[in-house]
Amino acid sequence: MKPELVSTDARNKLEDLSGIEIKSGENPYNALIEACHGNTVEIQSLYATHRIARNLQQRDKFLSSEFSELIIDPFLLRLENPELEPGFKDPRNCLVFWARPPDHIIRLAAYLQQSLKQAAPNLWLMPTHRMHMTTLEVAHSRTPAEIASMVALMRPRIPTLTNIPFTKRARLVKPFISYDLSAIAVSFLPAAGEAVLSPAPVAPHPEHIGHPGLLNDDTTESDDYSYHHLRRDVFDEAHATGVPIGSRYVVPSAHITLGRYLTQADHETPEQREQWIQAIDNLNSWLESEVWDVEGGEFIGEWIVGQERGLEARNGALWYGGGRTIMVGEGF
């Protein structure tokens, strides 16, 4: 009998480092909003606290004298190297709602990927056409039949769910490389009054439901509805279908996976690991000075969830950007 494969999540738990305590049985996104009194500056601060604390935690692990190994994803390893287990298929089926990044964010993410690849040539990169941000994970690691029954129950509300960002606009800003022992991502913070830099809505667009911040530059008004508010509303709408919400984790993080480790080769020695951390630090310094709040720069680091397309309801074996689309909401 073949040994059961263990997901990287089991070995690399993503814990909430913002200091917010979630009450059992409640919408888990409400806790942070209530702790911040709905104030977007405070919400942004807690997102920043989480990602900075996690990077410091992971930095210590990489540079520790007790470092033993990276956490290699056994599922992805077999998918990328079929000779290890011919005919292998990922058995973990999921049901999610994704936010797809617009073109200008994909361009930035691709640039970051290539920079990281220079520092770690064996890094597996997420294909750009598969990039996504998980707004809500409804279920994971289930059978196709289980997921199908959930989809059937949720289907009447899926149009509403996928179209929430069309009238409720949430901005994300300040891209930053976040990492751990299994993967690396670009993370964002909910906006809190920064100047609007994103491209205008694609014409033709109904101006009467436009985003105030885009039309009037009134970012104070527009940012009152944060990405965390969006996640809260998507959770409430999905929960109202009667489908139990079984997310693996609920943390203040808005991230797009850039890559994963499939070998120890680039990080075997202390010198290699120090160079890796330095490469990440250099990229984060570049992002802060050349991308954050920069008007007319080579890259735009801000996006509004729903640009180009609404949320995407998706199911299947989609751990690495695969699976199938059930419905995509209208973009702007």
pLDDT digits (tens, 9 = 90+) for 174-197: 999 999 999 999 999 999 999 999
Q: Which two tokens stand for residue 239?
A: 């929960």
pLDDT digits (tens, 9 = 90+) for 289-310: 999 999 999 999 999 999 999 9
Q: Read off the pLDDT band of 9 (50, 70, 90).
A: low
Rounded CA separation 136/130 (Å): 17
- Record the tokens describing residue 244, joined without a space: 């139990």
DSSP percent split of the chain into helix, strand, coil, nearest 5: 40, 15, 40
| CB-based burial, 123-143: b 16+ in 10 Å, e otherwise | bbbbeeeebbbbbbbbbbebe
Give the domain ranges of the chain.
24-328
Report whether 31 contacts 21 (CB < 8 A). Answer: yes
Specify whether the CB–CB gap between 140 and 94 falls below 8 A.
Answer: yes
Tokens at residue 278, please?
């330095």
Region 264-277 average pLDDT: 97
Residue 329 contacts residue 163 (beta carbons within 8 Å): yes
pLDDT tens readout for residues 53-110: 999 999 999 999 999 999 999 999 999 999 999 999 999 999 999 999 999 999 999 9
> Sign of the CA dihedral 263, 75, 322, 163?
negative
**What are the backbone angles phi and psi of residue 75, rounded to the nearest 5°?**
-70, -50
Q: Which has the closest alpha carbon to 235: 224, 245, 250, 223? A: 245
- Phi (first) and psi of residue 118, to 5 degrees: -65, -35
Q: Looking at residue 218, what is its pLDDT?
A: 47
Distance CA 282, CA 284 (A): 5
Structural fold of domain 24-328: Cyclic Phosphodiesterase; Chain: A, (3.90.1140)
pLDDT at 219 over 70: no
Angle at 138 between CA 255 and CA 31, to 5 degrees: 65
At residue 316, the pLDDT reads: 95
Write the CA distances from 65 to 271, 273, 277, integer angstroms. Answer: 12, 11, 15
